Amino acid sequence: MIEIFMAGVARANPEAAVIDALDGVRRPDLILALGKAAVAMARPALSRFPGTPCLVVTNPENAATLDGAEVILGGHPVPDDGSLAAGQALLSRARALSAGQHCLVLVSGGGSALAVAPAGAMTLADKADVSRLLLGAGLDITAMNLVRQNLSLLKGGGLARALAPATAEALILSDVVGDDLAAIASGPMVPPLGTAAEAIDLLRRQDLWDRMPAAARDALGTAEPIATPEVTCRLVGSNRLSAEAMHAAAPDARLDPDPLVGDVSDAAARIVAVAQAGPGTTLWGGETTVILRGDGRGGRNQELALRVADALRGFDRPWAFLSGGTDGRDGPTDAAGALVDNGTLARAAARGCDVTAALARNDSYAVLAASGDLLMTGGTGTNVADLQILRVGG
């Protein structure tokens, strides 16, 4: 099963994807690369266009020295001082271009936190508080990005606006189910998902408005719509393509056309229903969400896997289930996810773990570490959301 999962990860190899996409790209006067895959995406671009000034923004785990490029490291999933410096550097480089010049922008997942440029009087602390609040509320990535775009000078087309009057084109590695370009890294090169008024309405409906920092409420309340220049954007990798690559590696499996999205408890129920339907292997792509109710450690893939194991307690067929993040990192942990089976709960119990209590406090990592079921791949240098595999024996 791990081999099948890694076939999906390999399809999202950012370096290969960019190499294939560079034919026909106009020689740029500047290369800007943003996201967890920024180094791998920038490397072939610099090889094709040597001597071009290049700024790369990524996370520490995926950092590397690139000849001819400046590399800035930002925080993820919560922005830090490096993220603030990265956002300022991106905007400064972009605004330095003039009419007649051209920029190649390389975008991948994680960019929302790795580079920030807070709107209004917001501080980095305000921005971090907003990120924590949205992550902990279980909002899907599109809803989170609607809010983040309207609190940023960079996201929601902000980078495209900073590049004008120069021209630009973007190559994008999607970490968003459905590949909405406005949601990938919060859409720095495309118009925003919605207005500030719509972001406020969302926050009110989710009972989050009064918990937002005062400066964030002020920034949303005073925001004015700004036109975003049209930019050519091309998708070079996605969750769908990686799920199809898993299917190519396991042609006898069934690839579910409906991605796994929404709350982990609902996704787990869907997986359990497939398991109970009979033998076979089923593949998914997607990205679930978790509502944080405790102070435990884990991530959406680990919690999904543990919920499946708990729900299949006593199931009379041999089974195994893998859920992993293609970036090799599930939440703030060193695991990509988990690979659970019939013996997971017994192994955890033998180490003194209470699965019900662990799930109540979002502490899936501790249980899966005890049972020996963590999926450890290391950082992959890419990010196209999550992949899942269920195998049920006869």
The structural domains of the chain, with segments of one domain joined by +, span 2-238, 252-392
pLDDT value of residue 224: 85
DSSP, res 171: E
**What does the alpha-carbon distance between residue 175 and residue 103 come to, in Å, rounded to a whole number?**
22
pLDDT digits (tens, 9 = 90+) for 83-98: 999 999 999 999 999 9
- For the entire predicted model, the pTM comes to 0.80
The pLDDT confidence band at residue 139, using thresholds 50, 70 and 90, is: confident
pLDDT digits (tens, 9 = 90+) for 259-297: 999 999 999 999 999 999 999 999 999 999 998 888 899
Q: Residue 141 above 80 pLDDT? A: no
pLDDT digits (tens, 9 = 90+) for 174-183: 988 889 899 8
**What does the alpha-carbon distance between residue 264 and residue 3 come to, in Å, rounded to a whole number?**
24
Region 298-316: mean pLDDT is 96
Distance between the two ends of the chain, CA-based, in angstroms?
Answer: 17
Name the CATH superfamily, with its identifier, for domain 252-392: MOFRL domain (3.40.1480.10)
Region 342-360: mean pLDDT is 96
Q: Residue 156 above 90 pLDDT? A: yes
Q: Residue 382 above 90 pLDDT? A: no
Share of the chain above pLDDT 90, in %: 84
Q: Residue 222 above 80 pLDDT? A: yes
**What does the alpha-carbon distance between residue 12 and residue 261 come to, in Å, rounded to a whole number?**
20
| Cα–Cα distance list, 225 to 66, 94, 114, 221, 270 (Å) | 38, 20, 24, 12, 41
pLDDT value of residue 62: 87
Q: Does domain 2-238 have CATH number 3.30.70.60?
A: no
Helical packing angle, 239-249 and 2-11, nearest 10°? 140
The pLDDT confidence band at residue 238, using thresholds 50, 70 and 90, is: very high
Burial per residue of 353-369, b for 16 or more beta-carbon CB atoms within 10 angstroms, e otherwise: bebeebbeebbbbbbbb
